[in-house]
């Protein structure tokens, strides 16, 4: 379980994962050696990985969509395996309320999206699906990313 100091470190890393340990030491008031050990131990405390966030349109992928889909029981596992391996799938989740999966996908254009959806239907029986386009990203990966708000969080979240 993360303590208050670990949570503070995570907040600064979520704000800027490339921050130098010396800068992080100044911001947190911890010695660099302590920070090194704590950052090294973060994977055991629930941190999956530190990674870069991309501006997909800046690298040629202007179409983003969240696709909700359902497949027959006999094809669900095959669909799951395909989605796990598909390069265009950025995030995949198993969901409820009439659907099996929610995939956040990234494409160069609408044609690529349509080809992907057609393949899902033809090869994996993804008959019931909803496609929701991302028009504008308003907030992303910001939970526990503001060190100044950690005290206000205090174990409770706004509804």
In the chain the domains, ranked by start, together with CATH numbers, are 4-52 (1.10.10), 56-133 (3.30.70.920)
Q: Which residues of the chain have pLDDT under 50?
A: 155-159
Cα→Cα distances 36→9, 33, 39, 40, 127, Å:
11, 5, 5, 6, 50
Tokens coding 143? 């939970």
pLDDT of residue 95: 97
pLDDT of residue 51: 72
pLDDT of residue 145: 76
pLDDT of residue 151: 62
Q: Are the CB atoms for 80 and 124 separated by under 8 Å?
A: no
Cα→Cα distances 139→36, 92, 134, 142, 158, Å:
30, 19, 12, 7, 16
pLDDT of residue 153: 59
Cα→Cα distances 150→23, 29, 49, Å:
19, 16, 21
């Amino acid at each position: 379980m993360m303590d208050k100091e670990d949570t503070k470190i995570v907040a600064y890393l979520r704000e800027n994962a490339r921050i130098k340990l010396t800068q992080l030491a100044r911001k947190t008031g911890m010695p660099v050696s302590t920070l090194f050990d704590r950052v090294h131990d973060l994977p055991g405390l629930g941190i999956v990985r530190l990674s870069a966030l991309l501006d997909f349109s800046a690298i040629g992928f202007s179409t983003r969509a969240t696709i909700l889909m359902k497949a027959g029981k006999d094809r669900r596992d095959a669909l799951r395996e395909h989605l796990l391996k598909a390069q265009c799938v950025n995030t995949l989740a198993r969901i409820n309320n009439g659907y099996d999966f929610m995939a956040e996908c990234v494409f160069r254009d609408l044609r690529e999206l349509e080809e992907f959806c057609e393949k899902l239907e033809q090869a994996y029986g993804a008959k019931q699906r909803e496609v929701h386009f991302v028009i504008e990203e308003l907030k992303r990966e910001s939970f526990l990313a503001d060190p100044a708000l950690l005290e206000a969080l205090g174990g409770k979240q706004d509804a």
